[in-house]
Amino acid sequence: GENVEQHPSTLSVQEGDSAVIKCTYSDSASNYFPWYKQELGKRPQLIIDIRSNVGEKKDQRIAVTLNKTAKHFSLHITETQPEDSAVYFCAATPGGYQKVTFGTGTKLQVIP
Amino acid sequence: EADIYQTPRYLVIGTGKKITLECSQTMGHDKMYWYQQDPGMELHLIHYSYGVNSTEKGDLSSESTVSRIRTEHFPLTLESARPSHTSQYLCASSDGTHYQPQHFGDGTRLSIL
């Protein structure tokens, strides 16, 4: 089955700096890669996703890049703000009726 | 408003009790999931369903059971609660088509005394 590794497990950055979270996956059939943000005491929520036929996707201060050959994808947050502090989860799935596999999460702390 | 709802939000109960955690979604999603998560930690898949009368066990061994008699409803039952079941339980759903994210409920925080 699919295995998703996520690094780092914790990340502290100064407000205004960039943050990068990296994930690797094992199943070459995976073709959909969502990222979720979970604030303290809240439900995980989708912040951005990418399909395997796309190399990069941006949404304001957030971007995701995908390298299918190396089987890794990354979340980039620029100009970080205190409200970006949360746990971030990457995920991968071949789609259809295959399971979604989540990474182990990254706790991001943005220091004002 | 289309959403996914979990009840109760919090439950404190004694060992040995039978518990049912409720999950309902109004988005017409085919797929539904149950995860166990200690606060801020990894998401562990315990059960999932791809439609009515379809249920599968997930990656985490669990003493719970689920049922899917209606598309919108996916309850989780613990026949005899133990302190080791203390955790947060998150329900999620997604559309059956490709490239669709999961939508999570607010969770049930369960404490077994």
User: In three state form, how does the secondary structure of chain B look?
Assistant: CCCEEEECCEEEECCCCCEEEEEEECCCCCEEEEEEECCCCCCEEEEEEEECCEEEECCCCCCEEECCCECCECCEEECCCCHHHCEEEEEEEECCCCCCCCEECCCEEEEEC
First to last CA, chain A: 41
In this prediction, residue A59 has a pLDDT band, given cuts at 50, 70 and 90, of: very high
| Contact partners, residue B97, CB within 8 Å, separation at least 6 | none
Cβ distance of A105 and B104 shorter than 8 Å = no
Q: What is the pLDDT of residue B61?
A: 73
Q: What is the pLDDT of residue B62?
A: 76
In this prediction, residue A95 has a pLDDT band, given cuts at 50, 70 and 90, of: confident
> What is the pLDDT averaged over residues B15-44?
95
| Contact partners, residue B61, CB within 8 Å, separation at least 6 | none
In this prediction, residue A39 has a pLDDT band, given cuts at 50, 70 and 90, of: very high
Mean pLDDT of chain A: 95
Most B CBs within 10 A among A43, A45, A54, hence the mutation to make, goes to A43
In angstroms, the CA B46 to CA B44 distance is 6
Q: What is the pLDDT of residue B59?
A: 82
Most A CBs within 10 A among B23, B41, B102, hence the mutation to make, goes to B102
For residue A38, CA distances in Å to A27, B62, B106, B113 come to 25, 24, 11, 27
Which residues in chain A are closer than 8 Å to B41, comparing Cβ atoms? 105
Q: What is the pLDDT of residue B40?
A: 84
- Relative to beta strand B64-66, strand B54-57 is unpaired
pLDDT above 90 for A43: yes
Cβ distance of A43 and B107 shorter than 8 Å = yes
Q: For A22-35, how does the pLDDT look when each residue is reduced to its tens digit (9 = 90+)?
A: 999 999 999 999 99
Q: How far is A64 from chain B (nearest CA, A)?
A: 15
Q: For B52-108, how does the pLDDT look when each residue is reduced to its tens digit (9 = 90+)?
A: 999 999 988 778 999 999 999 999 999 999 999 999 999 999 997 778 899 999 999
Cβ distance of B48 and A42 shorter than 8 Å = no
In this prediction, residue A47 has a pLDDT band, given cuts at 50, 70 and 90, of: very high
Residue in the block written with tokens 């669709």: B100
